[in-house]
Amino acid sequence: MKKTNSIYLIISSVLLIACSNPYKVETYLDEKNQKERLLDIITYVYLVPQGVDAQNKHLPIYRDAYAKFLPQFSFANYYVSKEDSLHYFYVIRPARSAKAGTQRGVGGRYRLSAEGKIYDFEEIFNTTIMPTDSLRTIGEKIFKEVLLHKGSLGKYEGYTPYIEWPSANNFYDKVKHEWRYK
């Protein structure tokens, strides 16, 4: 009986590992930490709420101002590189001034300090505005390409049906944490 239980446990473990998706946020973060990390990302990728100082928008005193946006954001993909501990993400967020039901995808990466604080944050791409279902399918393809090319868009570089930024006219400024025109 002990031997049968041990074999069952081994087979179950192997199947669980084989079936786990390395691009799902649940692989790396529990539910509480998913919300905290998503909130951290929102402070980098979304508009600065009224009354928030843009230069200091990451300070804890402003978290509540960003928290109201949390229900509108979701992780679609997430991956932590074993090589260099970079955290790659792809989130779906509301598209500004777009009709209801359309959103945009944002892919990027960052590092975590020993205290769990984000640093070296970079947006790698923003998708064009499209329905959420399309963002999930197309975004996963782009996300995997970014991982394959270690932060580069690879074959999606300049592919305007999917990628709005970067483009020939703009780039992501890692110091100001915003897209800038050339």
In this prediction, residues 121-128 reach a mean pLDDT of 97
Report whether 147 contacts 82 (CB < 8 A): no
Residue 64: give the domain boundaries: 2-181
Question: Is residue 139 predicted with pLDDT exceeding 70?
Answer: yes
Tally the domains of the chain. Answer: 1
Torsions phi, psi for 146 (to 5 deg): -60, -40
Mean predicted lDDT score pLDDT of the chain: 88
Give the model's confidence band at 97: pLDDT under 50 very low, under 70 low, under 90 confident, else very high. low
pTM of the model: 0.86
User: Highest mean pLDDT range out of 17-21, 56-60, 65-69, 74-78?
Assistant: 74-78
71: three-class secondary structure by DSSP: helix
pLDDT of residue 21: 87
Tell me, what's the pLDDT at 11?
Answer: 45
Instruction: Report which of residues 102 and 48 the model is more confident about.
Output: 48
State the Cα–Cα distance between residues 85 and 47, nearest whole angstrom: 28
Place of tokens 């999930």: 136
Confirm if 142 and 178 have CB atoms less than 8 A apart: no
Cis peptide before 166 (omega within 30 of 0): yes
Give the per-residue pLDDT at 19. 53
What are phi and psi for residue 76, nearest 5 degrees? Answer: -100, -40
Tell me the average pLDDT across 130-137.
92
Model pLDDT, residue 98: 62
